[in-house]
Amino acid sequence: MSAASNPPTGATSAPDNSRRRGMLLTLASVFVLGGLIWLALWYFVFSLRVTTNDAYVHGNQVNVAAAVPGTIVAVLADDTQMVRAGQPLLKLDPTDAELNLASARHALQQAVRGVAAQFAQSAQAEAEVAAREAQLTQAEDTLRRSAPLLHERAVSAEQVTQLRNAVAAARAALRAAEQRVAAARAGVQGADIARNPAVLRARDAFRAAWINLQRHVVLAPVSGYLAQRTAQLGQRIRPGQPLMQVIPLSHLWVDANFKETQLAAMRIGQPATLTSDLYGSGVVFHGKVVGLGAGTGSVFALLPPQNASGNWIKVVQRLPVRISIDSADLVKHPLRLGLSMNVDVDIRDHHGQVLAQQPADQPAAVTTVYAQELAGADVAAARIIASTEAAATTAAHGKRRS
């Protein structure tokens, strides 16, 4: 009975070995298949891309500072607010500048009147020359008619002598008048009133005073969002002192710090996709590589490493790579400076350059806000010159008629 109830040991071990062998073959097949899938992914996907999460959003941080010293009397914008290029941000006490401008205006008016007087004197001297020429002609004619009468004793020798002296005096008076004309013309010849050197000097002083007054209103150099405001009412500031920053969030880029082992196939112009921790992986930004840094971060650190001293341990270095961001993506999903980014660069195209071969043909940033200052000064100065010249000319004509 006992022998019939216990099956043979050899009969039960064979199925167990077969089952174990099947499981091992299945597991090995899974590992081989996984390896083949990984190999295919690496060859067709991962080897054609480099990624890093050591990347951060950067942009221009435009410092706002006054060009003239003064005391702040109004703060017109605050942190987080949007500002437009040319929008007033601060006002300084303009009292001293207004007084200087008034003095420069009076000096310009006086210079115009002085030059107008010189033109009038020149015209008067020319009229005097014409009068002296007429007197000389008359004296010579009288002498010419009287000289033959001396032989006929119709006139005395004394009278003829007097006529000759009158001719000499008229000739001397004409020469003196011509000298006065030359002296008067020397001060005004070659330029009209507006281009006279004396008027130009006074005009430049007026323009400087006019611009100085305009600079007591501090303007936003670019459009963007205000940050880092330190300006306070009543604060006495000096030229160039940082008072706040304008951040143009419409033009941002990412500095991605790739390992040096990832850069062999990276080229300028290669496309890149980016995701931010702010929006998550569901929002994808598009861009391209616009430049590779000229050195690793350790080289430009405040205290660069001294690998020639002491013990040395090799550390893989990182190189900053600048990646632009599509402006349309920034409009849909605004970013801020300093945000973390995940960068994926497609390195299949190797035809680009590793480093830029030509200098940039466009400025990195430009503003036209301050160009209006000189134009406004020119208009104001021209208006003063024209009105003062017209008044002086009218006064001169009135004196001639009287």
Compute the average pLDDT of residues 108-123: 77
Give the per-residue pLDDT at 16: 74
Asked whether 323 and 290 are in contact (CB, 8 A), the reply is: yes
Q: Which range, of 157-161, 254-258, 388-392, averages the lowest pLDDT?
A: 157-161
Which pTM value belongs to this model? 0.72
Give the per-residue pLDDT at 193: 76
pLDDT band at 212 (very low <50, low <70, confident <90, very high): very high
User: Dihedral angle at the C-alpha atoms of 191, 195, 198, 204, nearest 10 degrees?
Assistant: -160
Q: What is the mean pLDDT of the chain?
A: 83
Q: Is the pLDDT of residue 10 over 60?
A: no
Residue with the bigger pLDDT between 173 and 104: it is: 104
Q: How many angstroms separate the CA atoms of 165 and 139, rounded?
A: 9
Residue with the bigger pLDDT between 337 and 361: it is: 337
Q: Is the pLDDT of residue 201 over 70?
A: yes
Residue 386, number of CB atoms within 10 A of its CB: 13
DSSP helix/strand/coil, 175: helix
Q: How many angstroms separate the CA atoms of 246 and 363, rounded?
A: 19
Phi, psi of 346 (to 5 degrees): -85, 115
Those residues whose C-beta lies under 8 Å from the C-beta of residue 131, and which sit 6 or more positions away, are 177
The DSSP result for 214-226, as a single string, is: HTTEEEPSSSEEE
Q: Is the pLDDT of residue 300 over 70?
A: yes
DSSP helix/strand/coil, 360: coil
Instruction: Please state, in angstroms and as integers, the Cα–Cα distance from residue 150 to each residue in 140, 143, 168, 193, 394, following that order.
Output: 16, 11, 19, 55, 53
Asked whether 212 and 68 are in contact (CB, 8 A), the reply is: yes
Compute the average pLDDT of residues 239-260: 94
Give the per-residue pLDDT at 172: 76
pLDDT band at 368 (very low <50, low <70, confident <90, very high): confident
Give the per-residue pLDDT at 277: 92
Share of the chain above pLDDT 90, in %: 45
**Token pair listed for 307:** 């690998």
Residue with the bigger pLDDT between 402 and 244: it is: 244
Q: Is the pLDDT of residue 97 over 80?
A: yes
Give the per-residue pLDDT at 267: 92
Those residues whose C-beta lies under 8 Å from the C-beta of residue 61, and which sit 6 or more positions away, are 227, 245, 247, 337
- Per-residue burial over 76-104, b if 16 or more Cβ lie within 10 Å, else e, is ebeeeeebeeeeebbbbebeebeebbeeb
**Token pair listed for 268:** 């300028």
DSSP helix/strand/coil, 104: helix
pLDDT digits (tens, 9 = 90+) for 372-383: 888 889 999 999
Give the per-residue pLDDT at 341: 96
pLDDT digits (tens, 9 = 90+) for 125-184: 566 667 666 766 766 666 666 556 555 555 556 665 666 676 677 677 667 666 666 655
Give the per-residue pLDDT at 309: 77
Q: How many angstroms separate the CA atoms of 16 and 14, rounded?
A: 5
Q: Is the pLDDT of residue 276 over 70?
A: yes
Give the per-residue pLDDT at 352: 84
The total number of residues written for the chain in this structure: 402
Q: Is the pLDDT of residue 1 over 50?
A: no
Q: Which amino acid is at 34?
A: G
Phi, psi of 117 (to 5 degrees): -65, -35
Residue with the bigger pLDDT between 391 and 80: it is: 80
Q: How many angstroms separate the CA atoms of 108 and 110, rounded?
A: 5
The DSSP result for 41-107, as a single string, is: HHHHTGGGEEEEEEEEEEE--EEE--SS-EEEEEE---TT-EE-TT-EEEEE--HHHHHHHHHHHHH
Give the per-residue pLDDT at 210: 94
Point out which residues pair with 91 in neighbouring strands: 74, 217
Q: Is the pLDDT of residue 343 over 70?
A: yes
pLDDT digits (tens, 9 = 90+) for 23-70: 888 888 888 888 877 776 666 665 678 999 999 999 999 999 999 999
Compute the average pLDDT of residues 335-347: 94
Give the per-residue pLDDT at 324: 95
Q: Which range, of 183-192, 247-256, 339-348, 386-395, averages the lowest pLDDT?
A: 183-192
Compute the average pLDDT of residues 329-353: 92
Give the dihedral sign, CA 137/139/140/146.
positive
The DSSP result for 123-139, as a single string, is: HHHHHHHHHHHHHHHHH
Share of the chain above pLDDT 70, in %: 76
Compute the average pLDDT of residues 74-92: 95
Point out which residues pair with 236 in neighbouring strands: 71
